[in-house]
């Protein structure tokens, strides 16, 4: 089964992501920051990371850039989510990454996940 890390400092968003993604058959670990995501990456075989763009501390795009420089993690697919499209880092669009606007319509997110990892 595919393991997804969902990173969002909004506890309610994490609860919803956990509920819906498990409903569609994915294993999900929700965390509130990239520090905790790193701990999971060190212990688990992660198939996909979904991260809010604007999380306190290290942002989603900053975390992404760090991972892409690491041989072990550089091939893990990444989806960004945000309720603030204006805050989205334009350079990520140039790299052709997936972005989902909040509030998330989970059937669409699941279809995107399926297209990326099955």
This prediction's pTM: 0.91
Residue 96 above 70 pLDDT? no
- 86 contacts 44 by C-beta, under 8 angstroms: no
pLDDT band at 54 (very low <50, low <70, confident <90, very high): confident
In the chain, pLDDT over 90 holds for what percent of residues?
73
pLDDT by residue (tens digit) across 13-32?
A: 999 999 999 999 999 999 99
Q: Residue 84's CB: how many other CB atoms inside 10 A?
A: 11
Work out the percent of the chain whose per-residue pLDDT is above 70: 89
Can you tell me the distance from the alpha carbon of 81 to that of 16, in angstroms, rounded to the nearest whole number? 13
More confident residue, 31 or 92: 31
| Superfamily holding 3-117 | Response regulator (3.40.50.2300)
């Amino acid at each position: 089964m595919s393991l997804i890390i969902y990173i969002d400092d909004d506890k309610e968003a994490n609860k919803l992501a956990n509920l819906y993604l498990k409903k569609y058959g994915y294993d999900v670990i929700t965390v509130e920051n990239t520090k905790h995501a790193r701990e999971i990456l060190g212990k688990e075989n992660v198939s996909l990371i979904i991260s809010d763009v604007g999380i306190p501390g290290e942002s989603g795009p900053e975390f992404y850039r760090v991972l892409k420089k690491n041989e072990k993690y550089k091939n893990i697919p990444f989806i960004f989510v945000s309720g603030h499209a204006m805050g989205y880092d334009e350079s990520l669009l140039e790299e052709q990454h997936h972005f989902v606007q909040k509030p998330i319509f989970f059937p669409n997110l699941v279809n995107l996940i399926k297209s990326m990892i099955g």
